[in-house]
Copies of this chain bind each other. A is one copy, B any other.
Amino acid sequence: MTAYTATVTVRLKRGVLDPEAETTQQALERLGFELSDLRSADVFELDLDADSAADAGDRAEEMAERLLANPTIHDYEVDVTETA
Please report A residues at the B interface, Cβ cutoff 8 Å: 3, 9, 21, 24, 27-28, 31, 33-49, 59, 62-63, 66-68
Contact = CB atoms under 8 A, between A and B. Distances in A.
A45 B39 contact: yes
A75 to B, nearest CB: 13
A43 B41 contact: yes
A39 B35 contact: no
A33 B3 contact: no
A16 to B, nearest CB: 15
Contacts of A27: 67
A67 B32 CA distance: 12
A23 to B, nearest CB: 11
